[in-house]
Amino acid sequence: MKKSKVVIALFLALAWMIMMESFSLLIISSGILVGAGCVFISGYFLPINKIEGVNFGKLVTYPFFLLGQIFSSAVYVSRIIIKGAKIDIVKVDTNIKNDTIRIMLADSVTLTPGSVMLDIDEEKMTILWLRQRGSPEVEELNKEEMSEKIMGKLQRKLIQAEEDAK
């Protein structure tokens, strides 16, 4: 096992012990077994080393960034719902070339309140978009404007991970 995998297994074992609220010999040994098992299974089913063109160091902070975006979107959508909302289905383009990063963006857009990814076809995404009633019609907005409003910060953060890997 590589050194990094051992560190991940020990970190998972620590998380296991914290969740079990005990540091007995049985819990420590079962935590190490569970951590090693998780690392082994994830290495088998999620071959991360085969994903090219991604800077994993930049992606380490992405889940925390996404969590913040989910909460801020929830507040925004709550205000929209109170004031009145309308739903549009829009097609937007993304500047992300890497398939893995593009799927992460699609999942992120779906996780943030107010938008749901309906279809992804190469660099075109079809999105169900919840907007404030009275806002300009979709036909009046250009695709760059829609793309920025729907997935702007998420896309910029993921593009950084894609560009830094080159």
- For the stretch 50-55, contacts whose Cβ atoms lie closer than 8 Å and that sit 24 or more positions apart, written own/partner, are 51/100, 52/165, 53/97, 53/98, 53/100, 53/101, 53/162, 53/165, 53/166, 54/98, 54/100, 54/101, 54/161, 54/162, 54/165, 55/160, 55/161, 55/162, 55/164, 55/165
**Whether residue 74 sits in one domain with residue 16:** no
Q: Does 74 share its domain with 43?
A: no
Model confidence at 50, pLDDT cuts 50, 70, 90, reads low
Q: pLDDT per residue over 116-136, tens digit each?
A: 889 988 888 888 888 888 888
- Domain of 30, in residue numbers: 3-50
- Residue 100: pLDDT band by 50, 70, 90 thresholds? confident
On whether both 115 and 156 belong to a single domain, the answer is: yes
Q: Given this model, what pLDDT does residue 140 score?
A: 82
pLDDT at 46 over 80: no
Mean of the per-residue pLDDT values of the chain? 84
